[in-house]
Structure 1
Amino acid sequence: MFKSFSARFFMLLSLLAHVSFAEAEEASFPKVVESVSSTVVAIGIYSPLKQAGNQIRGTGFVVGDGKWVITNHHVVDEVLDPSVVEYYVAVHGKGKQVNALKATIEAVDIKHDLALLRINEALPAATLSSQAILPAGHEIAITGYPIGAVLGLYAATHRGYIAAVTPDALPNANSSQLTVDMLARLENADLVYQLDATAYPGNSGSPLYLPKTGEVIGVINKVFITGGKESAISTPTGISYAIPVKHVHALLHRVGN
């Protein structure tokens, strides 16, 4: 009887400890989100002759010494007009209290859809994971600007899981829809994260990170859609993709970081 009581007692202690740890872990997530959000910027174009304010095109996040910004190449691939005042900006802050910093493109990795920008003012920097790639099943979070800054700059966070580590090619209904570019990617495929998490067009360039630590493990770069571009917002599939952080490290290494 004593042994039975002792076993139940220690089982209860173990259960209480597990519950307390889970509660503490969940309570710490808002702090992680706050910390990561401080490193996130909106990427836009400042062109006063074309549009008032900044034309937000996607998301980015600060790395290194606080003056480097990572985003997707497709976010900054528009050729700007050299004959007028027009340049990319990294917009930092919250609501209407924001600061737009001029951003210059210092390096690109077109294959992995990455761009490295330089700003002239140091901002809080994200912590990059040292792990090249994580297996499926890890819980993840995304913080970025899914609908731009129509009502002001407000970062949104979504949680999910790594559903698969898969070749970098979006699925198609049949082989007739495969393009030459997709076939080339399949032949020399890099692995990317397929996520069970909802991202939107404005999330391009958002950091993908671990909810427990805030360490960045990847960069959001596309979503799987079943209809036109509008369906990505109205009827999202909940399937998103991210580039592993090892390619961010490689891009930083190219500029001596």
Structure 2
Amino acid sequence: MNVNIPMVIKVNFRNFCFLLLALSSTSVISADLPDTIAKVKPSIVAIGIYNRLTSPSSTLLGAGFVVGNGQLVATNAHVISVPLNKEKKDKLVVFVVKEGGAEVRSVTVLSVDKVHDLALLKISGQPLTPLHLSERRVREGELFAFTGFPIGAALGLNPVTHRGIISSITPIATPVKTTKELSSKQLRSLKNSYDIYQLDATAYPGNSGSPVYDPDTGEVVAVINKVLVKSTKENMLSDPSAITYAIPVKYLKRLIRNLN
């Protein structure tokens, strides 16, 4: 009897089991994410400028998401830094996306953290469903999703979801060879250096302020940032990369705590 035949069959069967396990894990991720997106989307809002006397009446600035008591919205500080024309009665607002259209809500800026490019807004009207801010430690290679309004001015107020892994946890500012190469913004970042997340999924204008969340639970681990990080980490590049960055949620939690 050729003893090698059973051994070959055994090895192949083992490989087959590993293949089934891998396919099963992938299908679980794919199955959980649609349910999580459906749970998260009602908490995703668009942030923009509204003026019923102009055409168009709305200008999209970025994304945000509901936290805390349901009347707080988190976003990037740079999203709300656009100057308003008071004479023309421009208003900073939040657009709550609903079936058949969007509800316009007035906002009050409560707190701004320029170092981490984060801001908290208070919205008018009834509270919305807040997202939970994660306590977990994020590791490189883990899979996450983010939902926002990429190229919203062209595509409209339709929340869009992207998915990718944390490809690196890296300092926000990269040291250079000589001090002559340092910009004033990079100098400030080196003085207040902290780690940010680099993702292998592409974010677009309009994604700034989008929550990065666990595809299984919807818990937020970070906030997408397209301006602060690139202007510091990639200031030496004539053509900034398409790499997407996110600010860890612990800085947002600190901003919320400081409100009290």
What interval of TM-score do these two structures reach, taking the shorter chain for normalisation?
A: 0.7 to 0.9
Matched with 2:146 is 142
Q: 1:67 to 1:126 in 2, by over 3 A?
A: same
CA RMSD of aligned residues (A): 2.9
1:184 and 2:185 matched: no
Q: 1:161 to 1:14 in 2, by over 3 A?
A: closer
CA–CA distance in structure 1, aligned partners of residues 13 and 82 of structure 2: 65
**What secondary structure does 1:202 align onto?**
coil
CA contact (8 A) 2:46 2:63 kept: yes
- The alignment of Structure 1 onto Structure 2 pairs a total of residues equal to 247
Structure 2's unaligned 5+ residue stretches are none
CA–CA distance in structure 1, aligned partners of residues 107 and 254 of structure 2: 20
1:98 and 2:102 matched: yes
CA–CA distance in structure 1, aligned partners of residues 21 and 169 of structure 2: 33
CA contact (8 A) 1:196 1:238 kept: no
Q: Percent identity?
A: 40
1:246 and 2:246 matched: no
CA–CA distance in structure 1, aligned partners of residues 89 and 212 of structure 2: 33
CA–CA distance in structure 2, aligned partners of residues 50 and 172 of structure 1: 46
Deviation at 1:72, TM superposition (A): 0.5
CA–CA distance in structure 1, aligned partners of residues 144 and 247 of structure 2: 13
Instruction: Look up the equivalent residue of 1:74 and give its one-letter code.
Output: H
Matched with 1:118 is 122
Q: Mean alpha-carbon deviation: is it higher for 57-66 or for 81-90?
A: 81-90
Q: Mean alpha-carbon deviation: is it higher for 197-206 or for 120-129?
A: 120-129
Give TM-score scaled by structure 1 length.
0.83
Q: 1:92 to 1:170 in 2, by over 3 A?
A: farther
CA–CA distance in structure 2, aligned partners of residues 45 and 116 of structure 1: 16
Q: Mean alpha-carbon deviation: is it higher for 6-15 or for 120-129?
A: 6-15
Instruction: Look up the equivalent residue of 1:129 and give its one-letter code.
Output: S
Matched with 2:83 is 79
1:26 and 2:5 matched: no
Matched with 2:206 is 202
CA–CA distance in structure 1, aligned partners of residues 178 and 104 of structure 2: 44
**What secondary structure does 2:30 align onto?**
helix
Give TM-score scaled by structure 2 length.
0.82
Matched with 1:128 is 133
Match of 1:255 among 235, 247, 259: 259
Listed as ranges, the matches of 1:230-241 within 5 Å are: 237-241=241-245
Q: 1:238 to 1:33 in 2, by over 3 A?
A: farther
Cα deviation 1:143-190 (Å, max 9, x = unaligned): 111111434311111111112111112688987542022022113301
Deviation at 1:9, TM superposition (A): 7.7
CA–CA distance in structure 1, aligned partners of residues 159 and 176 of structure 2: 32
CA–CA distance in structure 2, aligned partners of residues 193 and 199 of structure 1: 13
Matched with 1:153 is 157
CA contact (8 A) 1:143 1:206 kept: yes
Deviation at 1:14, TM superposition (A): 7.1
**What secondary structure does 2:34 align onto?**
helix
Rg comparison, structure with higher value = 2
Q: 1:39 to 1:77 in 2, by over 3 A?
A: same
Instruction: Look up the equivalent residue of 1:25 and give its one-letter code.
Output: I
CA–CA distance in structure 2, aligned partners of residues 8 and 50 of structure 1: 68
Deviation at 1:222, TM superposition (A): 1.6
Instruction: Look up the equivalent residue of 2:215 and give its one-letter code.
Output: P
Q: Mean alpha-carbon deviation: is it higher for 65-74 or for 3-12?
A: 3-12
